[in-house]
Chains A and B, each alone.
Chain A
Amino acid sequence: MLFNSYIFVFLFFPLVVFGYYAFHHWKKPKMALGWLLLMSMLFYGYNSIEYLFILITSVILNFGVVELMSRAKRTALRRLLLAAGLGVNLGILFYYKYYDFFIENINAWFQTDYTFLRLMLPLGISFYTFQQLSYVIDSYRGECEKYGFLEYASYVTFFPQLIAGPIVYHDELIWQLRDERNHKINYENLAKGLYAFSLGLAKKVLIADTLSKIVTIGYTDIHHIYTITVIIITICYSLQIYFDFSGYCDMAYGIGYMFNVKLPINFNSPYKAVSVTDFWDRWHMTLTRFFTKYVYIPLGGSRKGKLRTYFNILIVFLVSGFWHGANWTFVLWGFWNGAANVADKLAGRFLEWIPKIIRRIGIFLLATYAWALFRAPSIIQAKRMWKHFKEFGGGKVYPPIYETFNNLLETRVLYRLGLGGIIDRCPLLPLAVFMLALMFACFFLKNTQEKVEDGHYGRRRFIVTIGLLFWSVLSLSDVSEFLYFNF
């Protein structure tokens, strides 16, 4: 089920919240948790029962491994169980996500003819696998208290974060579900949650999905586009992925709030970053911290000299790239980011004399270039895009790009409001204004977490919340999926 769907907004979500607090009101905390678990599974299994089966298996196996580990006295046995836990999680992930990629490459390199599995990737498998890996590793390290199965299963399947993060650790979520103070309706949290959800829904439905239409045209009709159109498409994609993911995070954050659960911040205005390191401290923060805790630090982090540090950074980003998808484009994207990070470290304070705004734009351009790799369905397509970037084509913009934008209902309303003459004379103007406004918002405006925490919940915020909610809901009839579902 998608957050941006009628069934979620009108039926599922009100029902879960109502049931959750009703059970708590009747002093039935286990029933409340059971309700949450049941509804989370319904949320996940809504589109595919098969996926649900994989999720349930994964939860039972991980819980079982940790249970056995807690009973095991001998270190060797605990180590064996850790290996089993890691094997189960990575095995499932490999089977569903990477098997065909390896087969494809083996077939290409060794001229073999192994058959593909052609499995559909279970939604959010990379997210819940990582969460459970952290649970298994922390349990092995003795950094984890004991949870009941209901608590554990409710934590892993907690629907606001189930399919696209944030990657929440067990010790961040479970105590919040346990805490009796959180079992009553908290109007402050409800207000914050509702506001964050509206902002997130609008980012996804009104901004990201609109940009997605433009980007799709560019990548579909790649032979017709040249320098300026390539620039437009690439920036549009950079903005699309930003608003798509940021919108999802805001919604997850908002929904969490409505259950009195504060999810970790995952997205902290990354395009305000002034260095590559800063960018990765702001973009998909829970993934960065996961890799830092479970890959970078075990590799030695920065404790083994500069060269080793750079090597470790490169490894982390390569793994991160591969985590995003089974395609060489993602590996290349990871390498690019790793290399940029190392370069950033090498430059040290040297870049600090450059004004912040210039650095901010520089980081935006670097990221935008990397996103072009990320979006391309293959390396060949990425190269093709680069080739077309170098062909000026008379400076023309591919008309379907702005025609599609000008055909949006909102632009048609502007047309009817008397701006038709201007739009006819300069058909690219509405899209250009839209893009500039979004870039301005990314560079300078407060992000959702800041807005939610500060400010007065008065009339203005009331109108914004209700207005954005209905504008978005009315736009749901042509929905697209979240980009981060595929990871």
Chain B
Amino acid sequence: MRKWVIGCLTTILTIIVIMTATAWIIDPYFHFHKPFPFVSYRLYDERYTNDGISRHFEYDTIITGTSMAQNFKPSEVDAVFGVTSVKETFSGAGFKELSQNLDRALARKNDLKTVIWSVDFNAIIRDKDYDIYSGYPEYLYDDNPFNDVCYIFNKTVWYEGIIPNLIMTLLGHERTSLDEYSAWDKELGYEHVMAGYDRWEERAEMRPGLSAEEQKMVEDNIRQNFVELVNKYPDTTFYLFYTPYSICWWDFMNQEGLMLQQFEAERITTELLLQCPNVKLYNFNDKYDVITEFDNYRDREHYGAHINSQILEWLAKGEGLVTLDNYEALLEQEKQFYLNYNYEEKLKNP
């Protein structure tokens, strides 16, 4: 029995040492160190990876947002803006999650020059703490070395991270580039857009605007998640843009009677953001040729990767820039267009 017990304990210790060493070297989520040149990394799960990118990558620009930002290519951002960028997107995230991630990154990196951030246009009228994601790997987000045990001895991390990286490294496969990281390439077009759109046949009565409570909700949402963060880091320039959704989304808002509420929320948001000197706010809702072309979209909201490239060019050129001088006129023009648009005709004859 003595031999059996000592054998067991020795094996347990050996496995612990080997697992710890392997996890430390491969470090699939860049928690311990910056990527080693000899390891092929499979960048996969955003919520496990992004904080590691913030900690250990070399960059001066962060691209962030939800799925609306996933198809941005850091290589294009680097070329257009002359920066070194990383992409940290969070699928389905609320503003708070994005804001907190940026706050952690900015607190560690004082020399961060630029943030490019997609502001989900459909998420403005929401509670400031909106979050649908639970089960965060918190051990990756803090600086407590003791809970790293949850990272090293975690079957999901091994199955999704360490083992694939090991295999890729041994087989000599290329690592996932930041351009590919979390990007998606799905078919676009009318059929796909309409497949997920259950249109109300009868149009709902247009609601007049936001209630006082809803106005406060929008204000709190923007203040907590944007204004406070932006004011905290005055030396960083924040390129924020309202995500340009397809005409189908506008039709949905029209059918549901939510259009005026959205315009009012947009006004509140714009006025709050324009008070921040280090924010460059963009609105592409007047890019009608893009918005009314179904071939640019996968569904009501999601545009294809070529639109992400297009957005980068607009940002660099200053096209669509909203200022204190032009925001009223832009909003009025937007209202006139989307309130009077012939949606029936467009949906019938795309």
B150 is an interface residue with CB less than 8 A from chain A: yes
Distance, CA A423 to CA B25, complexed state (A): 36
Cβ of B149 and Cβ of A457 under 8 Å apart? no
Min CB distance B201 to A, Å, is: 27
Cβ of B156 and Cβ of A477 under 8 Å apart? yes
Contacts of A470 in B (CB 8 A): 15
B211 is an interface residue with CB less than 8 A from chain A: no
A191 is an interface residue with CB less than 8 A from chain B: yes
Min CB distance A213 to B, Å, is: 12
A462 is an interface residue with CB less than 8 A from chain B: yes
A417 is an interface residue with CB less than 8 A from chain B: no
Min CB distance B162 to A, Å, is: 11
Cβ of B1 and Cβ of A457 under 8 Å apart? yes
A173 is an interface residue with CB less than 8 A from chain B: no
Contacts of A457 in B (CB 8 A): 1, 4
B317 is an interface residue with CB less than 8 A from chain A: no
Q: Interface with A: B5-13, B215-223, B263-271, which one?
A: B5-13
Contacts of B154 in A (CB 8 A): 474, 476-477
Q: Which applies to chain A's interface (DSSP): helix, strand, loop or mixed?
A: helix
Residue in contact with B4 in the complex, picked from A462, A469, A471, A473, CB distance below 8 Å: A462
Min CB distance A286 to B, Å, is: 28
Min CB distance B135 to A, Å, is: 7
Q: Using known A-B contacts A6-B149, A6-B150, determine if residue A194 contacts B5 with beta carbons closer than 8 Å.
A: yes
Q: How many of B's residues come within 8 Å of A, CB to CB?
A: 20
B155 is an interface residue with CB less than 8 A from chain A: yes
Q: Using known A-B contacts A6-B149, A6-B153, determine if residue A465 contacts B8 with beta carbons closer than 8 Å.
A: yes
Distance, CA A470 to CA B2, complexed state (A): 21
Distance, CA A301 to CA B155, complexed state (A): 52
Most buried by B among A190, A194, A457, A477: A477
Distance, CA A6 to CA B144, complexed state (A): 14
Cβ of A466 and Cβ of B11 under 8 Å apart? yes
Contacts of B1 in A (CB 8 A): 187-188, 190-191, 457
Contacts of A188 in B (CB 8 A): 1
**Could you mark each residue 222-266 of chain B with 1 if its beta carbon is under 8 Å from any beta carbon of chain A, else 0?**
000000000000000000000000000000000000000000000
Cβ of B135 and Cβ of A191 under 8 Å apart? no
Cβ of B156 and Cβ of A409 under 8 Å apart? yes
Min CB distance B152 to A, Å, is: 9
Distance, CA A470 to CA B12, complexed state (A): 8
Cβ of A187 and Cβ of B2 under 8 Å apart? yes
A449 is an interface residue with CB less than 8 A from chain B: no
Residue in contact with A474 in the complex, picked from B4, B8, B158, CB distance below 8 Å: B158
B38 is an interface residue with CB less than 8 A from chain A: no
Q: Using known A-B contacts A470-B15, A478-B135, determine if residue A187 contacts B5 with beta carbons closer than 8 Å.
A: yes
Contacts of A409 in B (CB 8 A): 155-156, 159
Distance, CA A447 to CA B5, complexed state (A): 22
Cβ of A462 and Cβ of B8 under 8 Å apart? yes
Cβ of B153 and Cβ of A474 under 8 Å apart? yes
Residue in contact with A466 in the complex, picked from B15, B150, B155, CB distance below 8 Å: B15
Minimal Cβ-Cβ distance residue in A for B156: A409
Contacts of A466 in B (CB 8 A): 8, 11-12, 15
Contacts of A412 in B (CB 8 A): 159
Distance, CA A473 to CA B19, complexed state (A): 12
Give the B-binding residues of A (Cβ under 8 A). Answer: 6, 10, 187-188, 190-191, 194, 409, 412-413, 457-458, 461-462, 465-466, 469-471, 473-478
Closest 3 CB pairs of A and B: A474-B155, A187-B1, A187-B2
